[in-house]
Amino acid sequence: MSDSGEPVQKKAKVEEQSKPVEDCCEVAEGALFGLGNPLLDISTTVTKDFLDKYDLKADNAILAEDKHKPMYDEMVKNFDVQYTPGGATQNSLRIAQWILGKPNLATFFGCVGKDEFATTLLEKAKASGVNVNYDENEKEATGTCAVLITDNLRSLCANLAAANCYTSKHLDKNWDQVERASFFYSAGFHLTVNPDAMLKIAQHSYDEKKTYCFNLSAPFLSQFFKEPLLKLLPYVDYLFGNETEAHEFSKQQNYGTEDLKEIVKKISEEEKKSEKTRIVVITQGSDPTLVYKDGEVKEFPVIPIKEEDIVDTNGAGDAFVGGFLAQLIQGKDIEDCIKCANYTANYCIRQSGTLINDKADFK
Q: Which residues contact 287 (CB under 8 A, 6 or more apart)?
A: 243, 302
Cα–Cα dist 298/93, whole Å: 26
Residue positions annotated with a catalytic role:
318
Cα–Cα dist 234/51, whole Å: 37
In this structure, the strands spanning 153-159 and 60-63 are parallel
Burial 336-355 (b: 16+ CB within 10 A, else e): bbbbbbbbbbbbbbebbbbb
Beta-strand runs (E) in 193-278: 211-215, 238-242
Cα–Cα dist 319/141, whole Å: 26
By C-alpha distance, which of 222, 239, 224, 231 is closest to 200?
Answer: 231
**DSSP 8-state secondary structure symbol assigned to residue 249:** H
CB 16 within 8 A of CB 120: no
